[in-house]
Amino acid sequence: MRELAGDRPLDMASWEAVPPSLRTLIDPGWVIEADGACLLVALRDGYHGSRAVFADATGFEASVNGLGIPDRDLGAEAGERTRDLFVRAVSYAAFALTRAESTTATGGLTAVVSLSNSLEEEPGVTARVTFFLERDDEPSLVEDVDAYREEALLVFRRSDL
């Protein structure tokens, strides 16, 4: 992903790269739950898991806010498709973080964009994005980006935009 991302990957973010299906997740904004979890409203409203199974708010946030990036409409040419998917994922993450500006206590709101090979019959690259709030009293969702061997990660905060 480093080659694909270049030196300034956030400069690739474009509202035009975010399809309507992802815009509907960004538009309702963010909410801070009573326990401090920072969640995208649209994803929280559709989440059916139990908060009780998570040891901390960070894990809960990552689960609720996690999303596979839709890619069925992207071209089949491997290199171009991968770049377009990366741009879509970074754009979605960047604009979702920007939307958090109206929510208090989100200074440490962090996006994780991952690219990995799919397990489909015809392998390709898939993308996933999630968000979590960095906290001093909980372990970070991603301690060491370089430790991930099966996927490539881009981690950035709202303050990086």
46-96: per-residue pLDDT in tens?
Answer: 888 888 899 999 999 999 999 999 988 887 776 788 899 999 999 999 999
| Residue whose tokens read 């939307």 | 99
Looking at the predicted structure, is the pLDDT value of residue 7 above 80?
no
Q: Within 13 Å, how many C-alpha atoms sit on residue 53's CB side?
A: 5
155 vs 144, residue with greater confidence: 155
160 vs 87, residue with greater confidence: 87
The pLDDT of residue 139 is 79
Neighbours of 9 (CB within 10 A): 19
The pLDDT of residue 124 is 80
* Residues of the domain holding 88: 2-160
What is the rounded average pLDDT of the residues 100-109?
Answer: 69
Q: In total, how many domains does the chain have? A: 1
CA distance 139 to 20: 34
Output the CA–CA distances (angstroms, integers) from residue 91 to 11, 33, 39, 76, 86, in the order listed. Answer: 9, 25, 18, 20, 8
